[in-house]
A and B are shown apart, each in its own frame.
Chain A
Amino acid sequence: MIAEWAHLALILALPVAVMQALSALSPAGMLGWSGGFRQNIVRWSALFGAILTSLAFLGLVLAFISGDFSVKTTFEHSHSAKPLLYKISGTWGNHEGSILLWVLILAVFGGLLALRKGAASRQDLQVRALGVQALIVIAFLAFTIFTSNPFERLLPAPIEGRGLNPLLQDIGLALHPPLLYFGYVGFSITFALTVAALLRGEADQAWARMVRPWAMLAWTGLTAGIALGSWWAYYELGWGGFWAWDPVENLSFLPWLTGTALIHSLMVVEKSGALRVWTLFLGVVTFVLAILGTFVVRSGLLTSVHAFAVDPSRGVFILAILGLAVIAAFGLFVWRAPQFKPGGGFAPVSREGALVLNNLFLSTGAGVVLLGTFFPLITEAFGQPLTVGKPYFDATFLPFMVPLLLLMALGPFLPWRQARFAAGSGGESEAGPKRRRLRLRPARGLLTLLVVALGLAALVITLLSWQSQPRLTLTIALAMVLAGWLLGGGVLTLLQRVQASGSLAKVTLLGWAVSLAHAGLGIAVFGLIAGSAMVQERTVNLKPGDEAEVGHLTFRLEGVRETQVDPAAGRNYISAFADLAVLDRQGGVQMILSPERRFYPIRQDSTTEAAIHVTWLGDIFLAFNTQAPDGGFIVSLSWRPLIPWLYFGCFLMVVGGVCGVLGSWRRLARMSS
Chain B
Amino acid sequence: MMSSRVRSRLLWVSLGAVLAASAVLLIVFALPGQLNAFRTPSQLATLEIQPGKTLRLGGQIVPGSYATEDGITHLFTLTDKEGGVQVVRYSGALPDLFREGQGIIATGVLDGQGGFDAKTLLTKHDEAYVPRELRDHASAQ
Listed in ascending order, the chain A residues whose CB lies under 8 Å from chain B are 165, 167-168, 237-238, 240, 300-303, 305-310, 342, 345-348, 356-357, 360-361, 364, 367-368, 371, 379, 384-389, 391-392, 395-396, 399-400, 421, 423-424, 539-541, 605-608, 623, 625-630, 632, 634, 636
| B residues less than 8 Å from A605 (CB atoms) | 96-97, 127
Nearest-CB distance from B65 to chain A (Å)? 15
Interchain Cβ contacts under 8 Å between A and B, 15 examples: A240-B120, A301-B132, A305-B125, A307-B125, A346-B8, A357-B15, A360-B12, A367-B20, A386-B36, A392-B30, A395-B30, A396-B26, A539-B92, A608-B96, A636-B93
Task: Assess whether B23 is in contact with A237, with CB atoms less than 8 Å apart.
Answer: no
A539-B91, A608-B93 are known; give 7 further A-B pairs, CB within 8 A: A303-B133, A308-B126, A345-B4, A368-B23, A389-B36, A389-B54, A606-B96
Task: Assess whether B94 is in contact with A626, with CB atoms less than 8 Å apart.
Answer: yes
| A residues less than 8 Å from B71 (CB atoms) | 541, 625-630, 632, 634
Nearest-CB distance from A170 to chain B (Å)? 13
| B residues less than 8 Å from A165 (CB atoms) | 126-127
Bound together, the chains give a CA A346 to CA B128 distance in angstroms of: 56
Task: Assess whether B70 is in contact with A541, with CB atoms less than 8 Å apart.
Answer: yes
Task: Assess whether B68 is in contact with A303, with CB atoms less than 8 Å apart.
Answer: no
Bound together, the chains give a CA A356 to CA B11 distance in angstroms of: 11
With A303-B132, A364-B23, A385-B38 in contact, do A391 and B30 touch (Cβ < 8 Å)? yes
Task: Assess whether B26 is in contact with A368, with CB atoms less than 8 Å apart.
Answer: yes
Bound together, the chains give a CA A400 to CA B26 distance in angstroms of: 10
Bound together, the chains give a CA A368 to CA B133 distance in angstroms of: 24
| A residues less than 8 Å from B31 (CB atoms) | 388, 392
Bound together, the chains give a CA A421 to CA B95 distance in angstroms of: 61
Nearest-CB distance from A2 to chain B (Å)? 27
Nearest-CB distance from B67 to chain A (Å)? 9
Residue-wise, chain B 116-129 has the 8 Å CB interface mask toward A (1 for contact) of 00001111011111
Task: Assess whether B20 is in contact with A364, with CB atoms less than 8 Å apart.
Answer: yes
Residue of A nearest to B95 (CB): A238
| B residues less than 8 Å from A357 (CB atoms) | 15
Listed in ascending order, the chain B residues whose CB lies under 8 Å from chain A are 1, 4-5, 8-9, 11-12, 15-16, 19-20, 22-23, 26-27, 29-31, 33-38, 54, 56, 68-72, 91-97, 105, 107, 120-123, 125-133
| A residues less than 8 Å from B38 (CB atoms) | 384-387
Bound together, the chains give a CA A392 to CA B32 distance in angstroms of: 10
Task: Assess whether B30 is in contact with A396, with CB atoms less than 8 Å apart.
Answer: yes
Bound together, the chains give a CA A425 to CA B25 distance in angstroms of: 38
Q: Is the interface of A mostly helix, strand, loop or mixed?
A: mixed
Please pick, from B26, B93, B130, B131, the residue contacting A237 in the complex, using a CB distance under 8 A: B93
| A residues less than 8 Å from B127 (CB atoms) | 165, 605
| A residues less than 8 Å from B11 (CB atoms) | 348
Task: Assess whether B8 is in contact with A307, with CB atoms less than 8 Å apart.
Answer: no
| B residues less than 8 Å from A342 (CB atoms) | 5, 9
Task: Assess whether B70 is in contact with A388, with CB atoms less than 8 Å apart.
Answer: no
4 smallest beta-carbon distances between A and B, as pairs: A628-B71, A309-B128, A345-B5, A395-B30
Please pick, from A300, A396, A623, A629, the residue contacting B93 in the complex, using a CB distance under 8 A: A623
Q: Which of A168, A342, A386 has most chain B Cβ within 10 Å?
A: A386
Task: Assess whether B96 is in contact with A368, with CB atoms less than 8 Å apart.
Answer: no
With A367-B20, A386-B37, A423-B1 in contact, do A167 and B93 touch (Cβ < 8 Å)? no
Task: Assess whether A361 is in contact with B19, with CB atoms less than 8 Å apart.
Answer: yes
Task: Assess whether B36 is in contact with A388, with CB atoms less than 8 Å apart.
Answer: yes
| B residues less than 8 Å from A240 (CB atoms) | 120
Residue of A nearest to B1 (CB): A423
Nearest-CB distance from A647 to chain B (Å)? 23
Nearest-CB distance from B79 to chain A (Å)? 19
Residue of A nearest to B5 (CB): A345
Nearest-CB distance from B104 to chain A (Å)? 11
Nearest-CB distance from B106 to chain A (Å)? 13
| B residues less than 8 Å from A300 (CB atoms) | 132
Q: Which of B33, B93, B95, B127 has most chain A Cβ within 10 Å?
A: B93
Task: Assess whether B123 is in contact with A238, with CB atoms less than 8 Å apart.
Answer: yes
Nearest-CB distance from A320 to chain B (Å)? 20
Bound together, the chains give a CA A396 to CA B16 distance in angstroms of: 16
Bound together, the chains give a CA A91 to CA B119 distance in angstroms of: 35
| B residues less than 8 Å from A305 (CB atoms) | 122, 125
Bound together, the chains give a CA A608 to CA B129 distance in angstroms of: 20
| A residues less than 8 Å from B9 (CB atoms) | 342, 345
| B residues less than 8 Å from A606 (CB atoms) | 96
| A residues less than 8 Å from B35 (CB atoms) | 379, 386-388
| A residues less than 8 Å from B22 (CB atoms) | 399
Nearest-CB distance from B96 to chain A (Å)? 5
Residue of A nearest to B67 (CB): A629
Task: Assess whether B92 is in contact with A303, with CB atoms less than 8 Å apart.
Answer: no
With A303-B131, A626-B94, A636-B92 in contact, do A167 and B70 touch (Cβ < 8 Å)? no
Please pick, from A168, A301, A364, the residue contacting B19 in the complex, using a CB distance under 8 A: A364
Task: Assess whether A385 is in contact with B23, with CB atoms less than 8 Å apart.
Answer: no
Bound together, the chains give a CA A310 to CA B94 distance in angstroms of: 25
Bound together, the chains give a CA A361 to CA B22 distance in angstroms of: 11
Residue of B nearest to A634 (CB): B71
Bound together, the chains give a CA A237 to CA B23 distance in angstroms of: 34
| A residues less than 8 Å from B69 (CB atoms) | 628-630
| B residues less than 8 Å from A368 (CB atoms) | 23, 26-27
Task: Assess whether B15 is in contact with A360, with CB atoms less than 8 Å apart.
Answer: yes
